[in-house]
Amino acid sequence: MDREVSTPLMQQYREIKSKHHDAILLFRMGDFYEMFFDDAVTASRLLGLTLTSRNNGGASEVPLAGVPVKAVSQYLRRLVEHGHRVAICEQVEDPKAAKGIVRREVVETVTPGAVFEDDLLDGARDNFLASVAIHERVVGISAADVSTGRFRLVIVGLGDAPSALGRLAPREILVATGAGAELRALLPPGVLVTERADWEFDPALARDALAEQFAIAGLAGLGLGDGDAVAVGAGGALLRYLRELQPSGLAQLARPSVERAGAVVPLDDMTRRNLELVESLRGGMDGTLVGVLDRTLTPMGARCLRHWLLAPLVERAPIEARLATVAALVDDTLARGALRTALDGVRDIERLAGKTAAGRAAPRELRALGDSLARLPAVAAALAPISSCGVLASIVSAWDAADDICGAITKTLVERPPLTIGDGETIAPGVDTELDSLRALRDGGKDAIASLQMEERTRTGISSLKVGYNRVFGYYIEVTRAHDARIPADYQRRQTLAGAERYVTPALKEFEERILTATERCELLERERFEALRARTAREITRLQAIATHLAALDALASLAEVAAHERYCRPELTDGVELVIEGGRHPVVERMMPRDQFIPNDVTLTPDGRLIVLTGPNMAGKSTILRQIGLIVLMAQAGSFVPATRATIGICDRIFTRVGASDNLVRGQSTFMVEMAETSAILHTATTRSLVLLDEIGRGTATWDGLSIAWAVSEHLHDVIGCKTVFATHYHELTQLANELDGVRNYSVAVREVGEKILFLHRLQPGGASRSYGIDVGRLAGLPPAVITRARALLRLLERGDLAAALAGQSPRPPSSEQLPLFTAAPHPAVERLRAIDADATTPMAALQLLAELTALVRDDAVQP
Ligand code: ADP
């Protein structure tokens, strides 16, 4: 050890720090948490603290930065927000009682994935810490939210792992140090990744750890079998890590819920973002589906709804159960109103219970838990008229009014207890007689002295007798010398003054003892009482979590019903077929951004013999809107929501894919076009007959012919090989030719009306393809200068006549610097290219026929000739 830091304190620091080298160590010293060395440098930079130094008796100085204990939470929040782990080291013995240096221990480590503080949590979302392992292309994800105690185990194939991780949106992910590239590729960018030793993921060790945590004999009780080893291993590593972070225990952790592949519709990152489910493309919740559907009244309801939307179901029965409940709540306005009134004011029972179980709930929080439970009877009463509908049947039959827990809390605590114990009264009067009399003594101290003085005057007959107090002797009775003879035997002399004597009596000593310690003892008793109540409530964590889960579901269902009623949604009819029929469909978010009834509803039908729609129309006509609205309607239906349509029949989809626009993924260092192709490839590899594929402008990121050929081939593959429901929005109106070639392709376009030079967007879907692109019209609408518009129209006419040479040479001073134009001149016509590629000897008569069709198609609809 360096000589200059060898004081006993620094030795203690070093010893503790060596066990927490990957965390910033907050080292408690009296009223401050101090940070030393690199921690001090980092923290002073991030938190704007002054960096000072401490001389430890040697030559060099130790960098030092400190934060006051009282203000620690805001500093903690900022450190954690910056992705740091923070270990909190407390003095674990009373400094007065300590021999030598005060004993210190790390009592908790806060990381982005493991926080309790309200200001570090978002009420509307879970705060998961996940652990991921992989074995033979099966991925096990274990995720826990220490603030709620929710614990999930997810077992999925490698391909669906990103979607599962995306849905859980963990703040921190654990991986084994030896994890390979396959697993590392799954980790979302920007998330704190914590490496743990490989052995911690060992399934056999994990099995024991899980069994011990949940006090069960084997994992079969959790619904886990031998095949789930990878998830069990991940779960074990997670538990071990959490125990390290929270040495005081994990009483709040609920038994894990197990989710397997196929239970929910895997939504890839692209689809989740494009459909703007919980976050808009611009960021934030405005303009998202959850923004429209979330009228929940409690944070747990909001989290539940969010989870439902990110995990639409695939099995029909549970979807129907949710829909039946929403239907009942839509129809019975009174029940809905009563339920929502009862839920209003219910606080985050799940997190309050989690805090209680972890021994962290403050008096005010425990009271809030009790007050929330007090609303349960009103919730039950609201449900009575519809108690047999959908999921309500099982909720009502398992109903736990928790009046014992609620009663204990509301009777024991005052109505508005303080945030911290000792900052005011916590325990209600009448709970503890000793506490009540101590309080009376503390508060009535002066009265008690006055009456004691009166009693002693009467007893001794000395009318000048006084009860007084000083710091050295405490309480005393003062009598002037003149009355010496009348002093009773039980008076003990303590102090002699010039003209008077001071005495104490056993009764006065006892009184003194009581009054002087009353405040302290009140506080102690209050703390004892409070902690007993908290511990008692903590033992009911399983019940409280079940109650929270029920209330969350009720709140989410009532929210869906409220929106359905207000926005005139309909109950979708779900089938096990593959059809999709939407009448009068609307985009739930776009319609909300315009005045009521301004949104133009549209019908869409996808059936096996019309399974691929080519959707054309000018920019701004509403193609993307229709595309997304189809995806959203299916997703909402499978999440158990009513849908914005007049009628909808939906064959349940196993997967929903969207590829919209050219989105950048520069974070991962791939070009836009590469990403687009990778995503398209993923769709072609995983879609099934029961999938819904929504494509917007595939192949736009490359040269025209390239793009068109890719779009064409992709459509053929989706149509012929996969046979899924597909809507393909494109500005390549050439693609409308597909309908002539393939049985299951239908052309639709979004109607526009041309009024003279102008175009009017009707936003109405109509059969048939668009005949031109209207790009120039949109350019004009967007305010391109009239001269540019006129010139563009002239060029377009030339190009359409195939007169590119004229366009470039004769009438344009120099060639436009567009990327694509040179290709028109340089590249041979695709038909020519196709012809060149033919190996005539190896072409069968069948293939020749197909080729002919392909060639005619290529030639027929070409606006631009080489
Ligand atoms: P495209 O994908 O064809 O370029 P968008 O789908 O982005 O067009 O739609 C452009 C705008 O048109 C939307 O932002 C919306 O304001 C409006 N719009 C789209 N569909 C409708 C509709 N059905 N009814 C009313 N307005 C619509």
833 contacts: CB under 8 Å, gap ≥ 6: 827
Give the CB-side neighbour count of residue 161, counting CA atoms within 13 A. Answer: 25
Say how far apart CA 725 and CA 721 lie, in whole Å: 12
| Domains held by the chain: number | 5
The pLDDT value recorded for residue 814 is: 39
Specify the ligand 1 atom closest to the Cα of 587.
23
Helix (H, G, I), strand (E, B) or coil at 470: strand
Interval between CA 589 and ligand 1 midpoint (Å): 11
Specify the residue with its C-alpha closest to ligand 1, atom 18: 622
For residue 535, what are its two tokens?
A: 């511990």
What CA–CA distance (Å, rounded) separates 289 from 589? 6
What does the angle CA 220 – CA 128 – CA 277 come to, to the nearest 5 degrees? 110
My answer on whether 474 and 551 are in the same domain is: no
pLDDT of residue 118: 76
* CA separation for the pair 476, 470 (Å, rounded): 8
Helical packing angle, 506-538 and 445-460, nearest 10°: 150
Together in a domain, 209 and 84: no
Atom 17, ligand 1: which residue's CA is nearest? 622
Same domain for 726 and 637, yes or no, is yes
Mean pLDDT (the chain, rounded): 87
Which three-class secondary structure state does DSSP give residue 742? Answer: coil
* Residue 567 near residue 588 (C-beta atoms within 8 A): yes
Tell me, in angstroms, the distance from the centre of ligand 1 to residue 763's CA.
6
Our mutation pick for probing the ligand 1 site, out of 590, 626, 660, counting the most ligand atoms within 8 A of Cβ, is 590
For residues 46-70, give the mean pLDDT.
Answer: 80
The pLDDT > 70 percentage for the chain reads 92
Atom 25 of ligand 1, nearest CA residue:
599
Confirm whether 278 is domain-assigned: no
* Phi, psi (deg, nearest 5) at residue 131: -130, 135
The CATH code of the domain that includes 100 is 3.40.1170.10
Residue 618 CA to ligand 1 center (angstroms) comes to: 11
CATH number of domain containing 625: 3.40.50.300
Q: Are residues 590 and 551 in the same domain?
A: no
How far, in Å, from the CA of 624 to the mean position of ligand 1? 7
| Helix pair 316-331, 333-343: axis angle to 10 deg | 100
Q: Which residue has a Cα nearest atom 16 of ligand 1? A: 590
**Angle of CA points 41, 45, 48, to nearest 5°:** 120
Residue 304 inside a domain? The answer is yes
Instruction: Answer yes or no: is 447 within a domain.
Output: yes
Name the nearest CA neighbour of 636 among 673, 604, 670, 589: 589
Q: Reply yes or no on whether the pLDDT at 584 is more than 60.
A: yes
Q: Cα(598) to centroid of ligand 1, in Å? A: 11
pLDDT the model gives residue 719: 93
pLDDT tier at 700 (50, 70, 90 boundaries)?
low
722 CA to centre of ligand 1 in angstroms: 30
Query: For residue 633, what pLDDT is reported?
Result: 98
Task: Give distance in angstroms: CA of 819 to centre of ligand 1.
Answer: 28
**Which atom of ligand 1 is nearest to 729's Cα?**
2
* CA 603 / ligand 1 centre spacing (Å): 15
Task: Place 222 in a pLDDT band, splitting at 50, 70 and 90.
Answer: confident
Using CA atoms, how far apart are residues 805 and 604, in angstroms rounded to an integer?
43
Q: Residue 645 and residue 679: Cα distance in Å, rounded?
A: 30
Show the ligand 1 pocket: residues with CB < 6 angstroms. 590, 599-600, 602, 617, 619-625, 763
**Best of 275, 602, 763, 773 for a ligand 1 pocket test (most atoms within 8 Å of beta carbon):** 763
pTM of the model as a whole: 0.81
Cα–Cα distance between 564 and 295 in angstroms, integer?
A: 11
Instruction: Quickly state the pLDDT bin for 827 (edges 50, 70, 90).
Output: low
Q: What digits encode the pLDDT tens for the residues 617-627?
A: 877 788 889 99
Residue nearest to atom 6 of ligand 1 (CA): 622
Are residues 592 and 735 part of one domain? Answer: yes
Last residue of a domain, one of 61, 84, 110: 110
Taken in order 569, 571, 574, 578, the sign of the CA dihedral is negative
Query: What does residue 778 show for φ and ψ, rounded to 5 degrees?
Result: -65, -40
- Ligand 1 pocket test, candidate residues 281, 620, 632, most atoms within 8 A of CB: 620
Q: Which domain holds residue 92?
A: 8-110
The reported pLDDT for the residue numbered 217 is: 82
Q: Select, from the ranges 88-102, 182-196, 505-519, 768-782, the one with the highest average predicted confidence (pLDDT).
A: 182-196
Which atom of ligand 1 is the closest one to the Cα of 602?
23
- 386 in any annotated domain: yes
Same domain, 731 and 582: yes
Query: Where is pLDDT greater, at 866 or 106?
Result: 106
Q: Are 151 and 255 in contact (CB under 8 A)?
A: yes
**CATH number of the domain to which 240 belongs:** 3.30.420.110
Q: Choose between 865 and 781: higher pLDDT.
A: 781
Rg (CA), the chain: 37
Chain-centre distance of CA 486, in angstroms? Answer: 80
Is 648 among the domain residues? Answer: yes
**590 has pLDDT over 80:** yes
Q: Is 609 exposed, middle or buried (0-12, 13-18, 19+ CB in 10 A)?
A: exposed
- What was the pLDDT predicted at 803? 64
Q: pLDDT (tens digit, 9 = 90+) per residue, 613-661?
A: 999 887 778 888 999 999 999 999 999 999 999 999 999 999 999 887 6
Q: Give me the pLDDT at residue 523, please.
A: 86
Q: Alpha carbon of 737 to those of 634, 680, 716, 741, 848: distances in Å? A: 28, 21, 12, 7, 19
Distance 275 CA to ligand 1 centre (A): 14
pLDDT score of 858 more than 90: no
CA–centroid distance, 282 to ligand 1, in Å, is 17
| Same domain for 687 and 603 | yes
The last residue of a domain, from among 763, 784, 805: 784
Q: Is the pLDDT of residue 862 over 60?
A: no
Measured between alpha carbons, how far is 40 from 54 in angstroms, rounded to an integer?
12
Range name among 437-441, 756-760, 844-848 with the lowest pLDDT average: 756-760
Lowest mean pLDDT across 353-357, 435-439, 516-520, 745-749: 516-520
Lowest mean pLDDT among 306-310, 523-527, 756-760, 826-830: 826-830
d(CA 412, CA 657) in angstroms, rounded, equals: 54
Query: Is the pLDDT reported for residue 58 higher than 60?
Result: no
The per-residue pLDDT for range 788-804, each reduced to its tens digit, is 888 888 888 877 776 66
Average pLDDT over residues 383-387: 94
Residue 68 lies in a domain: yes
Same domain, 333 and 376: yes
Could you tell me which residues come within 8 angstroms of residue 556 by beta carbon, excluding any fewer than 6 positions away? Answer: 296, 301, 304, 305, 308
Q: Which of 807, 616, 827, 801 is nearest to 705 (CA)?
A: 827
pLDDT of residue 816: 42
342 has pLDDT over 90: yes
Where are any strands of DSSP class E within 528-589? Answer: 573-575, 580-585
Cα 254 to Cα 222: distance, rounded to the nearest angstrom: 11
Residue 283 included in any domain: no
The protein residue with its alpha carbon nearest to ligand 1, atom 26, reads 599
Co-location of 154 and 64 in the same domain: no
Ligand 1 centroid to 273 CA: how many Å?
18
According to DSSP, residue 807 is labeled I
Backbone φ, ψ for residue 84 (5° rounding): -90, 155
Cα–Cα distance measured from residue 822 to residue 331, given in angstroms and rounded to the nearest whole number: 63
What tens digit of pLDDT does each residue of 431-471 get? 999 999 888 877 766 677 888 899 999 999 999 999 988 87
Closest-lying ligand 1 atom to the alpha carbon of residue 621:
3
| Nearest atom of ligand 1 to the alpha carbon of 617 | 3
- CATH number of the domain to which 446 belongs: 1.10.1420.10
Whether 392 contacts 383, CB under 8 Å? yes
Q: What is the pLDDT of residue 471?
A: 76
Q: Give the distance (Å) from ligand 1 centre to CA of residue 478.
A: 93
Q: Note the pLDDT tens digit of each residue in 420-430.
A: 887 888 999 99
Residue 815: its pLDDT value, please? 40
Ligand 1 centroid to residue 620 C-alpha, Å? 6
Residues 18 and 144 occupy one common structural domain: no
Q: What number does the ligand 1 atom closest to the CA of 598 have?
A: 25
Q: What span, in angstroms and rounded, lies between the C-alpha atoms of 796 and 806? A: 11
Query: Among 759, 784, 809, where does a domain finish?
Result: 784
Lowest mean pLDDT segment, chosen from 213-222, 620-629, 684-693: 213-222
Query: Among 259, 12, 52, which residue's Cα sits nearest to residue 160?
Result: 259
What gap in Å lies between CA 129 and CA 82, rounded to an integer? Answer: 16
Same domain, 33 and 76: yes
Report d(CA 481, CA 254) in Å as an integer.
74
Does a structural domain hold residue 790?
no
Statement to judge: residues 327 and 396 lie in one domain: yes
Output the CA angle 521-523-527, nearest 5 degrees: 115
Compute the average pLDDT of residues 316-339: 97
Between CA 487 and CA 467 the distance in angstroms is 14
